[in-house]
Structure 1
Amino acid sequence: MDDLVVVGAGPYGLSIAAHAAAAGLDVRVLGRPMASWRDHMPPGMYLKSEPWSSNLSAPGGRHTLAEYCVGLGVAADHGSPLPIGTFSGYGLWFAGRAAPGVEEVTVTGVIPQGEGFLVRTAEGPPLLTRTVALAVGVMPFIRYPDLLRELPPGHVSHSSDHGDLARFAGVDVTVLGAGQAALETAALLAEAGARPTLVARRARLNWNTVPQPLERPLRRALREPHSGLGTGWRSWVWSELPWAVRRLPAPTRERIAATALGPAGAWWLRDRFERRVPALLGHRLHGATAAGGRTRLTLTTAAGESVVRETEHVVAATGFAPDLRRLELLDAGLAAALETLGDGGTPELSAGFESSWPGLFFAGLLTAPSFGPSMRFVHGAGFTAGRLVKGVRKRLGARGPLPGAAKVADRARTDRAAGGHPWT
């Protein structure tokens, strides 16, 4: 029986695995490494966060994005956006050095079993483990406007459905949304030869400003400190004090998670977008029907006027909504037994990211209502990994170095020797 099975091999899952292996836990990581970044983001996208705040987490601060970029001969400078492909490559490089071998299997069930869990996969026999960390990323929580759900296949997609936008060349596309995903998808569509139009409920678009230099006069630095989530004291609190956010009343935490760091486009995208993409702002979607091979969208302006727009395809860049009820791999009885926040969409968690079910831990988007908005970003992986592994060790009753460290190290060396990390 394993000490810990990590479900998910994105930034959070890999960071948790790195800390767990270093702590001597017998840990296994299940999933496709960096799947969301590799499979659901088209070429031409850039990392919105600064390189220095986009590290995966290993004990001692090792295996940073900057270290990886040095090896490539690529600059990872403050104020210079990095391609998503570079970040995906960094995640694979990190996986080959900091974490035990990732097993590329699809987890289909996490079921209570005795004092631990049975983890089923689509590819092999089930696994037994004492604890489980669910770091499943954002893909299970895609959010679609209800009005688009009845459209026939081919008429509508989510922005995360596209690893390549070239197929939309020459196509009239309507992009719904006002955040980075919507703005960048629309710009990339235009650059790929499509004819995009952005439709947003907001009366105006928000754009991040050019980042201030890292080295600044002391007074200015104190007035607007840098943080992993941007500049300013409010961003600094969300970035650096997730433990403090957790101590707030539950309704306050939920409100912060839902409203802090709202939709905005990166400063480096603004010119590309505004030169190429027309926008219908202050327009709310009122209806959507198929009209032959096209889609007829009924929009309502802030003044209450009705506007009809016909388009060949609709891309909903409407983000992700954390909801336990959409996590199909979680045993239904177990999910129903969990203590939850608010309307029951997210789990109530301990300071160590443990749910009310002993041994079941969560990481990433589902934890934002407990620990704040940093859990929506890569930057939150550092805080999560260390605290979660401490929580696992507490659950296992660990005292000092745990048995299994040698086995984990031996397995990692064997995997590398056998070519188990093709991305290293």
Structure 2
Amino acid sequence: MHDLLIVGAGPYGLSIASHAAAAGLDVRIFGRTMASWRENMPRGMFLKSEPWASDLSDPAGRHSLAAFCAREGLPAEHGRPLPIEHFASYGLWFAERAAPPVDQRLIGGVRPAPGGGYEARTEDGEVCRARAVALAVGVLPFTEIPAAVRGLGDAHVSHSSHHADLRRFAGQDMTVLGAGQAALETAALLAEQGTRVRVLARSSRVNWNTLPPPLRRPWRESLRAPHTGLGCGWRNTFYARTPGLFRRLPEPSRARAAADALGPAGAWWVRERVERAVDVRVGHHVESAELAGGRVRIRAATRTGEELRFTTDHVIAATGFRASTDRLTVLAPELHAHLRSLTDGTPYVGDRFETSCPGLFLAGLTTASSFGPAMRFVYGAAFTAERLVRGVERHVRSGRHAAFPAQSQPCAEPVRSGRSSE
């Protein structure tokens, strides 16, 4: 029996694996390495976070993004956006040098093992057992598509995270829902390939991030708005540097911050591209959508009741993710029955990322309501990996395990891990 089994080989899973191996734990990690970064984002996209705030975490700190870029002769400069493909290549490099070998198979389901611990079934039927399991499944299991368009079918509606190549939409009329970076950058890429595209957003305006100030500034400026991996300012400093303190806030305050802090905004470097080529309609929400002659007929409205009607070929929902407990479908029903949830529907985790099922740990977006907005970004991987592995060590030493009902359901479909939001 292994000490730790990790489901997901993205930034969080790889960072946890690196720390666990360094701690002497017997660890196995499953998943297609950096798959969502390589396969669920179109070429031409950039990393919104600063390169210096996008490191995967190894205990010695030798495998940073800057180290990889220096080795490859690539720029990794403050205030200069980094292509997504460079970041994906960095993750592969990190996996080869700083983590245990990744088993590229997907995990079909996780359930309690007879006699204690957990067992995970791979997509080809092998069963692996471990004293503890860490789910680092990213964001893809939690895609959110508005109810008004959800029933249109895959040919007419998709999520922004479903596309590695936008060229299939060349020559079509496209509608992108949302006002965040994913919506705006997707729309810009569509327009730049000659596709007619509009952005429809519920918010009253599009927020744009500004060019970040230099890292080295007069001390008065730095004191007024210190740099952090989540942006400048003292509130971001709290979110970025003290997730442990964030967890001590009252649960309603944590939930509000997780949902609203660092809200939808476009990067400074995509603003001109959008404003010169994309029809942006703010203050509109979709009232209804129906198929008509092989296209989508949409009726949208403002808060004052003004209507907008149009027909489009395809809707891309860049409307984020909802990391609710019920969407952890990789877990067997007997585990779900013992999982405690917070009032916002996200899973409860303790101070070391352990759920209410002893030995079952979570990482990434699912923990944002417990440890703060940093868990929505790659930046949160370092804090998570160090503290979660300490929790696994404590669990392994204690020999604790929970009693669950007998198995009654087959394993779920293989889980596909996804990128942390950017």
Q: CA deviation at 1:124?
A: 3.9
Instruction: Give the match's secondary structure for 2:174.
Output: strand
The answer to whether the 8 A contact 1:168-1:193 is kept is no
Could you tell me the TM-score, scaled by structure 1's length? 0.92
Residue number in structure 1 paired with 2:227: 226
Residue number in structure 2 paired with 1:415: none
Residue number in structure 1 paired with 2:249: 248
Show the 5 A alignment for 1:185-334.
185-334=186-335
Q: Aligned partners of 1:258, 1:152: CA distance in 2, in Å?
A: 28
Amino acid of the structure 1 residue aligned with 2:334: G
Q: CA deviation at 1:192?
A: 1.6
The answer to whether the 8 A contact 1:117-1:132 is kept is yes
Q: Aligned partners of 1:263, 1:149: CA distance in 2, in Å?
A: 21
RMSD: 1.1
Q: Aligned partners of 2:246, 2:57: CA distance in 1, in Å?
A: 21
Show the 5 A alignment for 1:100-119.
100-113=100-113, 114-119=115-120
- Once the two structures are superposed, residues 102-135 of structure 1 have per-residue CA deviations (whole angstroms, 9 ceiling, x without a partner) of 0011111110112200111112410010000000
Instruction: Give the match's secondary structure for 1:276.
Output: coil
**Quick one: percent identity of the two aligned structures?**
59
Residue number in structure 1 paired with 2:418: none
Q: Aligned partners of 2:5, 2:194: CA distance in 1, in Å?
A: 44
Q: Aligned partners of 2:136, 2:212: CA distance in 1, in Å?
A: 30
Q: Aligned partners of 1:124, 1:286: CA distance in 2, in Å?
A: 45
The answer to whether the 8 A contact 1:10-1:137 is kept is yes
Instruction: Give the match's secondary structure for 2:337.
Output: helix
Q: Aligned partners of 2:147, 2:296: CA distance in 1, in Å?
A: 15
128-137 or 327-336: bigger deviation: 327-336
- 2:178 aligned with 1:167: no
Amino acid of the structure 1 residue aligned with 2:52: W
Residue number in structure 1 paired with 2:397: 397
The answer to whether the 8 A contact 2:325-2:341 is kept is no
Amino acid of the structure 2 residue aligned with 1:213: P
- 2:394 aligned with 1:370: no
Show the 5 A alignment for 1:345-424.
345-397=345-397
Could you tell me the TM-score, scaled by structure 2's length? 0.93
The answer to whether the 8 A contact 2:16-2:389 is kept is yes
Q: CA deviation at 1:61?
A: 1.3
The answer to whether the 8 A contact 1:154-1:313 is kept is yes
Q: Aligned partners of 1:346, 1:152: CA distance in 2, in Å?
A: 27
- 2:76 aligned with 1:76: yes
The answer to whether the 8 A contact 2:135-2:362 is kept is yes
Residue number in structure 2 paired with 1:417: none
Q: CA deviation at 1:200?
A: 0.5
The answer to whether the 8 A contact 1:31-1:104 is kept is yes
- Once the two structures are superposed, residues 170-211 of structure 1 have per-residue CA deviations (whole angstroms, 9 ceiling, x without a partner) of 110000000000000000001122111000011110000110
The answer to whether the 8 A contact 1:18-1:58 is kept is yes
Q: CA deviation at 1:375?
A: 0.3
Amino acid of the structure 2 residue aligned with 1:98: A
Amino acid of the structure 2 residue aligned with 1:352: R
Residue number in structure 2 paired with 1:413: none
Q: Aligned partners of 1:301, 1:350: CA distance in 2, in Å?
A: 42
Amino acid of the structure 1 residue aligned with 2:97: R
Gapped regions of structure 1 (runs ≥ 5): 399-424
- Once the two structures are superposed, residues 31-62 of structure 1 have per-residue CA deviations (whole angstroms, 9 ceiling, x without a partner) of 00111111100000000000000000000212
Deviating 4+ runs (over 4 angstroms): none
Amino acid of the structure 2 residue aligned with 1:292: G
Q: CA deviation at 1:348?
A: 1.4
Q: CA deviation at 1:349?
A: 1.2
Q: How many residues align?
A: 398
Q: CA deviation at 1:387?
A: 0.2
Amino acid of the structure 1 residue aligned with 2:142: F
Amino acid of the structure 2 residue aligned with 1:42: P
- Once the two structures are superposed, residues 142-197 of structure 1 have per-residue CA deviations (whole angstroms, 9 ceiling, x without a partner) of 00101112213311111111100011111100000000000000000011221110
Amino acid of the structure 2 residue aligned with 1:323: S
- Once the two structures are superposed, residues 374-424 of structure 1 have per-residue CA deviations (whole angstroms, 9 ceiling, x without a partner) of 0000000000000000000011118xxxxxxxxxxxxxxxxxxxxxxxxxx
Gapped regions of structure 2 (runs ≥ 5): 399-422
Q: Aligned partners of 2:347, 2:143: CA distance in 1, in Å?
A: 18
Q: Aligned partners of 1:75, 1:316: CA distance in 2, in Å?
A: 32
Residue number in structure 2 paired with 1:418: none
Instruction: Give the match's secondary structure for 1:304.
Output: coil
Amino acid of the structure 2 residue aligned with 1:281: V
Instruction: Give the match's secondary structure for 2:3.
Output: strand
Q: Aligned partners of 2:340, 2:33: CA distance in 1, in Å?
A: 30
- 2:22 aligned with 1:42: no
Q: CA deviation at 1:356?
A: 1.1
Show the 5 A alignment for 1:172-187.
172-187=173-188
Residue number in structure 1 paired with 2:51: 51
The answer to whether the 8 A contact 1:152-1:290 is kept is no
- 2:23 aligned with 1:23: yes
Instruction: Give the match's secondary structure for 2:244.
Output: helix
Q: Aligned partners of 2:141, 2:191: CA distance in 1, in Å?
A: 28
Instruction: Give the match's secondary structure for 1:59.
Output: coil
The answer to whether the 8 A contact 2:297-2:311 is kept is yes
Q: Aligned partners of 1:299, 1:211: CA distance in 2, in Å?
A: 35
